[in-house]
Amino acid sequence: MQVQAENQPYDEINVTPMLDLAYVLLVVFIILTTASVQGVKVQSPETSAANNLARPQTRAITITADGSIFLDAYPVSLEQLQAQLATYKAANPALPVVLKGDAAAQYDTVMQVLEVAKRLDITELGLVTRRAP
């Protein structure tokens, strides 16, 4: 019978603690990256109207200060916006839409988006604002 000496080096390394740490870091990374991608941030104008609640199935159109247009956080042109809204309108005739524009956005861009909604006969249209202090 052979007895191993206590000062013998290990032949194997236990990687389980390192894998546990790697999985925890991966989960934290996934949570942080998905939490940061929630939409396009704009500076909304203020108003005293408080009932600006959007219903489920609501489509959001966002206009940034530089005039970019987003449909549900995806950049679109006016033609793409009209085509996509027409598709949504065909599926839901009472399609609710909210328009979220930056306070510094060009009024012309806002009017072009409103004209697209009018052409598609979208009657449930809300404007997103901030509550006045």
Query: What is the mean predicted confidence (pLDDT) over 21-47?
Result: 77
Nearest Cα neighbor of 100 from 52, 28, 49 is 52
Q: Do 42 and 65 touch, CB atoms closer than 8 A? A: yes
pTM of the predicted structure, to 2 decimals = 0.59
Contact 97, 84 (CB under 8 A): no
What's the confidence (pLDDT) of residue 78? 92
Is residue 85 a contact partner of residue 123, using CB atoms and an 8 Å limit? Answer: no
Q: What integer pLDDT is reported at residue 35 of this predicted model?
A: 61
Question: Domain ranges in the chain?
Answer: 46-131
- CATH class, 46-131 region: alpha beta
pLDDT surpasses 60 at 37: no
Q: What is the mean pLDDT of residues 60-83?
A: 91
pLDDT digits (tens, 9 = 90+) for 69-80: 999 888 999 999
